[in-house]
Copies of this chain bind each other. A is one copy, B any other.
């Protein structure tokens, strides 16, 4: 199934769950939709914090339901399996279609997601533990402060994948090629150095096994903008539901800067 076909199945209601594992080789994106009065500050927040908030696409005009540069024939109101609707920063609804909630002032941001680099790590023969243990990647709130922009601020959330040192070095090399999907890790080793008290207690996702000789390696995570949205409390906001991403027509390889 190619991305166009999957998006059509999502639109028709045939597919309304996780997109993880679908359309191998294509970029999947986190989504944030904000009223245009809030969009400029959020855009600035993304530009100041590119590792957690790497922008892959932004709507050309408020109210656009298309992102033609990254997905053909896209309807942003129906082509994502599940959406979350926030009012004043509080999650109020989870729906599979936002047609009735759509507003002409909404600006859509598509942000890079770790699925792309995980695919490259696996292709290189590395064991991505959350994949091999079939759980959600472990994520943690850190003490690394994002650079604020208007009302948007907060600490970075990181995802963690354990590797032995030589595999970690290889993972750093591979991810360096992909700055628009979080790029190189931000930390490895002692979790307390970035404010994580207990590696076995995640803030989001599931804990994974860290084997003897392995070190936890931490990447900037796309949950960070959600934390910034919680802080900013915009009156209205729509995001994708975790794991239910915008599947684009961009090959992951197109994101490689070298």
Which A residues are closer than 8 A to B by beta carbons? 164-166, 168-169, 172-173, 176, 184-190, 193, 213, 215, 258
CB proximity of A183 to chain B, nearest CB, Å: 10
The 6 A-B residue pairs with the shortest CB-CB distance in the complex, in nearest-first order: A172-B172, A165-B188, A165-B187, A173-B176, A258-B258, A165-B189
A213 — which chain B residues lie within 8 A by C-beta?
A: 190, 193
Q: How far is the CA of A179 from the CA of B28 in the complex (A)?
A: 33
Q: So how many copies of this chain end up in the complex? A: 2
A187 pairs with B173, CB closer than 8 A: no
Q: Which residue of B lies closest to A184 (CB)?
A: B169
Chain B contacts for A258, CB-based, 8 A = 258
Q: Could you say which of B169, B187, B190 contacts A188, with CB atoms under 8 Å apart?
A: B169
Q: Are A188 and B176 in contact, CB atoms less than 8 angstroms apart? A: no
Residues of chain B within 8 A (CB-CB) of A173 are: 172-173, 176, 184
Nearest chain B CB to A154's CB is how many angstroms away?
A: 20
Given contacts A165-B187, A189-B215, 12 further A-B pairs with CB under 8 A are A165-B189, A166-B186, A169-B172, A169-B184, A169-B185, A169-B187, A172-B172, A176-B176, A188-B188, A189-B189, A190-B213, A258-B258
- Contacts A193-B213, A213-B193, A258-B258; is A186 near B172 (CB within 8 Å)? no
A173 CB, nearest partner CB in chain B, Å:
5
Residues of B within 8 A of A165 (CB): 187-190, 193
Q: List 15 A-B contacts (CB under 8 A).
A: A164-B193, A165-B187, A165-B193, A166-B186, A166-B187, A168-B188, A169-B184, A169-B186, A172-B172, A172-B173, A173-B176, A173-B184, A176-B176, A193-B213, A258-B258
Q: Give CA–CA (A72, B126) in the complex, Å.
A: 45
Query: Chain B residues with Cβ under 8 A from A172's Cβ?
Result: 169, 172-173
Given the complex of chains A and B, what is the CA–CA distance between A164 and B215 in angstroms? 14
Q: Which residues of B contact A187 (CB under 8 A)?
A: 165-166, 169
Q: How far is the CA of A186 from the CA of B258 in the complex (A)?
A: 22
Name the B residues within 8 Å of A166 (CB-CB). 186-187
In angstroms, how far is the closest chain B Cβ from the Cβ of A156? 12
Which residues on the B side are within 8 Å of A186 (C-beta)?
166, 169
Q: How far is the CA of A213 from the CA of B213 in the complex (A)?
A: 18
Residues of B within 8 A of A193 (CB): 164-165, 213
Bound Cα distance A61, B166 (Å): 38
Interchain nearest-CB distance for A196 vs B (Å): 13
